[in-house]
């Protein structure tokens, strides 16, 4: 009979090749089916640093801390120089570009806002009118 997940060591203890104790600080945050999550965090931050951090935090803060560490570790491994900062920088640049595009679109729309219904039709047909060749 295969062992159930409750009997399997957490991903951290399995990686560190040690017995997973019932009070294991890693077990709630690094389940056996997520070995890469712990591997990344261990590689970037070190298991002893993560242990120390988790023990200093209140239990209700630990999950958010682990998720932040896991995300930062993954980004740091993808981009060793900038990590999350690189991703944030790209997203900020995209946001600025979208804000600029939105301002431009609103500006273009405002040109038609003051035209009446007839003016809008006239303006739209004027730009698309092609003289017929005879």
Confidence of residue 118 (pLDDT cuts 50, 70, 90): low
| Domain end position, chosen among 63, 78, 93 | 78
Residue 105 lies in a domain: yes
3-class secondary structure for 41-68?
Answer: HHHHHCHHHHHHHHHHCCHHHHHHHHHH
Enclosing domain of residue 115: 84-128
The secondary structure of residue 2, as a DSSP letter, is P
pLDDT, one tens digit per residue, over 51-74 is 999 999 999 999 999 999 999 999
0.75 surpassed by pTM = no
pLDDT of the residue at 116: 56
Q: In the predicted model, what is the mean pLDDT of residues 75-89? A: 89
Largest CA-CA distance found in the chain, in angstroms, rounded:
90
> In the prediction, which pLDDT does 120 show?
53
Q: Are residues 42 and 59 in the same domain?
A: yes
C-alpha span between 103 and 79 (Å, rounded) = 33
């Amino acid at each position: 009979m295969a062992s159930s997940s409750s009997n399997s060591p957490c991903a951290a203890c399995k990686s560190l090749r040690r017995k997973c104790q019932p009070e294991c600080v890693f077990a709630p945050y690094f389940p056996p089916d997520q070995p890469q999550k712990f591997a990344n965090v261990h590689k970037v931050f070190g298991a002893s640093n993560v242990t120390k951090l988790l023990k200093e935090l209140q239990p209700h803060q630990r999950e958010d801390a682990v998720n932040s560490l896991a995300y930062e570790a993954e980004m740091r491994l993808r981009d060793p120089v900038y990590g999350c900062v690189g991703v944030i920088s790209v997203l900020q640049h995209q946001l600025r570009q979208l804000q600029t595009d939105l301002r431009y679109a609103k500006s273009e729309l405002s040109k038609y806002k003051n035209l009446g219904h007839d003016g809008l039709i006239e303006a739209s047909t004027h730009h698309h009118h092609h003289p017929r060749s005879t």
